[in-house]
């Protein structure tokens, strides 16, 4: 007599190919990530040095990791330090250097008469969900494709701190931070600063997530929206229509109860014991350079957290 096949197994078998996973829950990282890393090295966009070292591949847990990660302790041939050594991929390293060269340093010299000596960061690689929220998708931090910048140190030792200086109206420090935030939106595909949401009150998150393309170039998420005076002229559209929103494969080994499984399997079946070999546990605790990840709220006396969105420097007619 034929054995009855569990509806849960049928549902899981149906969604595994769409979820980008290997056999029975072995997750596979989206292929574009390794392609971006390899292209970055092939184009010599990053030069290895005592400050930028290649380390072995990071593979897991789940689809977290990088094919060719880098340990970065300084930029600009060691002349601009990082207050923490970062584990990031090659494209992020190249983008950080470009942002420093084209936006951060010119603006620092214009406003303070000196260059930035160090970029202060909370961290980069961390295998965790977005904003450390249960049930959320994996963050770009899980692929070494994101950095959280908390501020800058000038050549004379003065610190410019995002939590303290972002909303101090009428100051060079505030103007500088708003300008480097706006400039980051021309280099990175995701830029989230104070006012984007409660999680980013004390840093600027920058990443190179693949959001797809529009008919004027890569789709960019930039929050809060910079003042019009800080934005470049809009790009000329090409002849192609905007691409659809990109929906990356689910990491079924990380996110718990898959949306696809939920749609296909009866609720009662989802409450039963998972099939052998398929790990549907919640995401692991964050690992990497940020543990725990922000928001890191102050204890006791400290800066007042103002969650009010701020699009940019308020207009003042004086």
pLDDT of the residue at 23 = 44
Stretch 283-290: mean pLDDT:
40
- Please tell me what DSSP assigns to residue 307: -
Q: Determine the angle formed by the axes of helices 31-42 and 90-99, rounding to 10 degrees.
A: 60
d(CA 39, CA 93): 13
pLDDT of residue 92: 98
> What's the pLDDT at 281?
34
**Which three-class secondary structure string do you get for 204-251?**
EEEECCCCCEECCEECCEEECCCCHHHCCCCCCCCCCCCCCCCCCCCC
| Whole-prediction pTM | 0.72
| pLDDT value at residue 230 | 87
- Looking at residue 244, its pLDDT comes to 66
Question: Can you give the pLDDT at residue 240?
Answer: 73
Element (H, E) at 83: strand 80-88
pLDDT at 91 over 60: yes
Which residues, at least 6 apart from 180, have a Cβ–Cβ distance to it below 8 Å? 99, 103, 104, 107, 152, 204
266/154 Cα distance (integer angstroms)? 59
Strands 190-192 and 70-75: unpaired
Q: What is the 3-state secondary structure (H, E, C) of 158-179?
A: CEEEHHHHCCCCCCHHHHHHHH
Cβ of 2: how many Cβ atoms within 10 Å? Answer: 4
Averaged over 147-174, what is the pLDDT?
Answer: 96
Per-residue confidence (pLDDT) for residue 4, from 0 to 100: 56
Q: What pLDDT sits at residue 41? A: 96
Residue 268 has pLDDT above 70, yes or no: no
For residue range 197-207, what is the model confidence (pLDDT) as tens digits?
Answer: 999 999 999 99
Q: How many CA atoms lie within 13 A of 214 on its CB side?
A: 11
- pLDDT exceeds cutoff 60 at 283: no
Mean pLDDT on 258-273:
32
Residue 318 has pLDDT above 60, yes or no: no
Token digits for 188? Answer: 């990175």
Helix, strand, coil fractions of the chain, as percent rounded to 5:
25, 20, 55
Cα–Cα distance measured from residue 58 to residue 35, given in angstroms and rounded to the nearest whole number: 16
Q: Which helix H or strand E contains 85, and what residues bound it? A: strand 80-88
Higher pLDDT, 82 or 256: 82
pLDDT-derived band at 67 (thresholds 50, 70, 90) equals very high
Q: Does pLDDT of 260 surpass 80?
A: no
Report the pLDDT averaged over residues 11-30: 53
**Better-predicted residue by pLDDT, 142 or 272:** 142
What average pLDDT does the structure give for the chain? 76
Strands 58-59 and 65-66: antiparallel
- The rounded distance, in Å, linking the Cα atoms of 22 and 277 is 12
* pLDDT over 50 (residue 98): yes
Please tell me the predicted confidence (pLDDT) of residue 278. 33
Residue (of 155, 86, 88) closest to 118 by Cα position: 155
For the residues 6-12, what does the mean pLDDT come to?
A: 47
Residue 119, beta-bridge partner list: 82, 152
- Name the more confident of 87 and 308: 87
What average pLDDT does range 272-291 have in this prediction?
A: 37
Judge whether residue 85 has pLDDT over 70.
Answer: yes
pLDDT at 255 over 80: no
């Amino acid at each position: 007599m034929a054995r009855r096949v569990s509806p849960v197994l049928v549902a899981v078998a149906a969604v595994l190919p769409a979820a980008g996973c290997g056999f029975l829950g072995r997750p596979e990282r989206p292929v574009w990530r390794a392609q971006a890393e390899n292209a970055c090295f092939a184009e010599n966009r990053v030069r290895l040095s005592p400050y930028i070292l290649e380390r072995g591949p990071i593979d897991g847990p789940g689809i977290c990791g990088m094919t060719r990660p880098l340990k970065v302790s300084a930029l600009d041939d060691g002349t601009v330090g990082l207050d923490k050594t970062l584990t990031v991929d090659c494209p992020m390293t190249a983008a950080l250097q470009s942002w420093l060269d084209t936006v951060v340093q010119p603006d620092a010299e214009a406003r303070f008469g000196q260059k930035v000596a160090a970029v202060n960061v909370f961290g980069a690689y961390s295998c965790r969900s977005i904003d450390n929220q249960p049930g959320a998708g994996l963050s770009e931090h899980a692929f070494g494709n994101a950095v959280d910048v908390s501020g800058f140190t000038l050549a004379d030792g003065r610190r410019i701190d995002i939590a303290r200086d972002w909303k101090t109206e009428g100051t060079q420090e505030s103007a500088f931070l708003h300008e480097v935030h706006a400039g980051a939106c021309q280099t990175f595909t995701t830029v989230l600063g104070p006012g984007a949401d409660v999680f980013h009150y004390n840093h600027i998150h920058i990443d190179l997530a693949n959001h797809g393309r529009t008919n004027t170039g890569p789709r960019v998420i930039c929050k809060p929206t910079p003042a019009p005076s800080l934005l470049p002229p809009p790009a000329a559209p090409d002849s192609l229509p905007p691409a659809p929103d990109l929906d990356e494969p689910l990491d079924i080994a990380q996110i718990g109860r898959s949306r696809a499984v939920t749609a296909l399997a009866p609720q009662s079946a989802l409450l039963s014991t998972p099939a052998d070999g398929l790990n549907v546990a919640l995401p692991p605790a964050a690992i990497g350079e940020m543990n725990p990840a922000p928001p890191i709220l102050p204890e006791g006396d400290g800066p007042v957290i103002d969650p009010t969105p701020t699009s940019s420097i308020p207009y003042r007619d004086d």
